[in-house]
Amino acid sequence: MGKITVLNPLGYPPKVIGKPMAPRLDTLDGKTIYLVDARFDDSGILLAQMQNWFTEHMPSVKTRLVQLSTVYTQDDPKTWQEIKANGDAAIIGVGH
C-alpha cells in the first residue's frame, strides 16, 4: 500500500484577542442607543423588535437602527466612529 496525504479541512482559526466590555450606564433615560445590525441571520428583524420595545416601554431612550456597511466578518470603522461620536451605547445584533 502507498502513502496518501490527508489535509485537515478545519484549517486554522484566527487568533482572537478579547476586549473588556464597556462599563454600564447608570441610566438609559435621555440616552441614544445604537442598535447595530451585523447582517447575520435576521439580526435586523430582532433589532427592529427591540427598537419597538424601547419606543413602547422606554420612550425617553432614543434608538438608532444602523446596518454595518459590509458583512459581519469585516470591520466597519465609519459606523463605529459614528456611534462613538453620537451614541451613548450600542447593542450589536448577531441574529439567531
Residue 39 burial by Cβ neighbours in a 10 Å radius (0-12, 13-18, 19+): buried
Q: Is the pLDDT of residue 96 over 80?
A: no
Residue 67 belongs to what domain range? 32-93
pLDDT at 73: 82
Confidence band for 62, pLDDT divided at 50, 70 and 90: very high
In a domain, 27, yes or no: no
d(CA 69, CA 60): 28
pLDDT tens digits for 1-48? 789 998 888 878 889 999 998 899 999 999 999 999 998 888 899 999
In a domain, 10, yes or no: no
Number of domains composing the chain:
1
Phi-psi region of 65 (alpha: psi -120 to 50; beta: other; left: phi over 0): beta
Choose among 96, 93, 94: nearest CA to 35: 93
In a domain, 55, yes or no: yes
